[in-house]
Structure 1
Amino acid sequence: MTAVLFDFSGTLFRVESTGSWLRAVLEEAGLTLSEPELADTAKALEAAGALPGGADPVEVPADLAGLWAVRDESARLHRAAYTGLSRRVTLPDPGLHDALYERHMSPIAWSPYPDAAEVLRTLRERGIGVGVVSNIGWDLRPVFREHGLDAYVDAYVLSYEHGAQKPDPRLFSAACAELGADPRQVLMVGDNRVADGGAAALGCRVHFVDHLPVAQRPDALLPVLDLMG
């Protein structure tokens, strides 16, 4: 194996909780909710699937279904899909829906999994190429820079920059090409069996991890080092 491709959300990084997300935006806006109201509103946002990188919607509204299906193909579609879901929930100020979307793109909203740095650093030391292949509607590179992991990544292939989303094999192919790697000698690591499993169509080996809170998944990436030999 000569290279590893990683998914972003739920694989290398995890977004903050819905409650933390909402609380931060309310504080920034100088607004307050009682603790019960905040908890209920966060629960409603989570059920709506309004936090990118968080839980999927319990049910996608019929009028958003088409948009939801292609949300990662452009920045415009991504914003429209997630703010559309957010607006199903009543907030103290209508401007908070856009503020919530902006917040989730901030590096402070993301935490790397505890073993991410060790795995990426070790792969770099072994001379193994590393790529990030993500279904996303914004530039995640600042998240890697802020958390000190950008130095270990050789290529970023982001769906919104390519107008296609996983499991479309074109994204994995683009990443392999940037790394100069034969797909048959590449490992794809992700948390979504459908999206990330698309790499198998090119002959990549695929390894899955569970999309869990950071504190509940301290070492699930470490087996990648063994898989690379």
Structure 2
Amino acid sequence: MTIKGVLFDFSGTLFRAEPTESWLRAVLRDADLTLPERELTEAADALEAVGALPGGVVAPRLPEGSEDLWRRRDSSAEGHRVMYTAISRQVRLPDARLHDALYDRHMLPAAWWPYPDTAEVLDALCERGVAVGVVSNIGWDLRPVFREHGLDRYVGAYVLSYEHGIQKPDPRLFATACDALGIAPEDTLMVGDDRRADGGAAALGCAVHFVDHLPASQRPEGLRPVLDLVG
């Protein structure tokens, strides 16, 4: 097989969300609110425990009756916001408006850090003439994140679930990305951290490679094996 195109997941693959505590600190700062350090740490821990940070690694604790919305959360921007702010509201914060502010914060480029080898790998793929796409289950436009970090120039297509009303592992989302890049599925490699969602590309005939969803400092070279797979 000759790989002519590589599709990447976003969160946990190319980028990592900021830690929950810095997420909360930033929102409190912007709201001109302060909490005693112990209370701030406790609130951050509670948000972490319920999985309130979109893109985090903790399995969310769902509010009662929200299971159906959770299953289809990435198919619309509205559903994504409603779901994650409902998860966040399980934690008491000093101002109820902070829950929406937390959601808004997580969409900012400053809330996302590329993995140490992201730029290197994307640049190497483009140098080899390999097309690059991003396929993400997400409820908001991540393009500004790539632009802010100087990585947009490497990406030939963004296929985002909320824009198509389709979520991974549905093969149609991967097919849309392959069509956008002009690459046949059998010549495409999908790289992601979720074996169920990203593994759906295999049903289309794509090769699949998984990475670990770890903090950036613990995964300095997790993407480099992709270059060996491409050859």
TM over 0.5: yes
Q: How far apart are 1:83 and its partner, in Å?
A: 0.3
Q: For 1:63-82, list aligned pairs within 5 A.
A: 63-82=65-84
Q: Cα offset for 1:66?
A: 1.2
Contact kept in structure 2, 1:71 and 1:77, CA below 8 Å? yes
Structure 1 CA distance for aligned equivalents of residues 46 and 59 of structure 2: 10
In structure 1, runs of 5+ residues without a counterpart are none
Check conservation: 1:13, 1:111, Cα contact below 8 A: yes
What TM-score, normalized by structure 2, do the two folds share?
0.98
Partner of 1:134: 136
Residues 139-194 of structure 1, C-alpha deviation per residue, up to 9 Å, x if partnerless?
A: 00000000000000000000000001100111000000001111011000000000
Q: TM-score of the superposition, structure 1-length normalised?
A: 0.98
Question: Aligned partners of 1:119 and 1:56: how far apart in 2?
Answer: 27
Deviations 1:39-62 (A, max 9, x none): 111111111111100133353223
Query: Which residue does the alignment assign to 2:22?
Result: 20
2-structure distance, mates of 1:165, 1:99: 26
- State the shift of 1:16 in Å: 0.2
How far, CA to CA, are the matches of 1:80 and 1:5 in structure 2?
28
Letter in 1 for 2:119: A
Q: Which amino acid aligns with 1:209?
A: V
Q: Give the equivalent residue in structure 2 for 1:38.
A: 40
Identify the range of structure 1 (38-47 vs 165-174) with the bigger mean alpha-carbon deviation. Answer: 38-47
Deviates more, 1:8-17 or 1:51-60: 51-60
Residue in structure 1 matched with residue 218 of structure 2 by the alignment: 216
- Structure 1 residue 115 corresponds to structure 2 residue 99: no
Partner AA of 2:18 in structure 1: E
What residue number does 2:184 align with? 182
Q: Which residue of 1 aligns with 2:205?
A: 203
Counterpart AA for 2:19 = S
Counterparts of 2:127 and 2:205, CA distance in 1: 25
Q: 2:167 is aligned with what amino acid?
A: Q
Whichever residue aligns with residue 35 of structure 1, its letter is E
Alpha-carbon distance in 1 for matches of 2:30, 2:61: 30
Counterpart in the other structure of 2:172 = 170
Query: Gaps (5+ residues) in structure 2?
Result: none
Contact 1:50 1:57 in 2 (8 A): no
Matched residue count: 229
The residue number in structure 2 matching 1:102 is 104
For the residue of structure 2 that corresponds to 1:62, the secondary structure is coil
Write the deviation string for residues 201-221 of structure 1: whole angstroms up to 9, x where unpaired.
001000000000111100010
Aligned to 1:62: 64
The residue matched to 1:14 in structure 2 has which SS?
strand
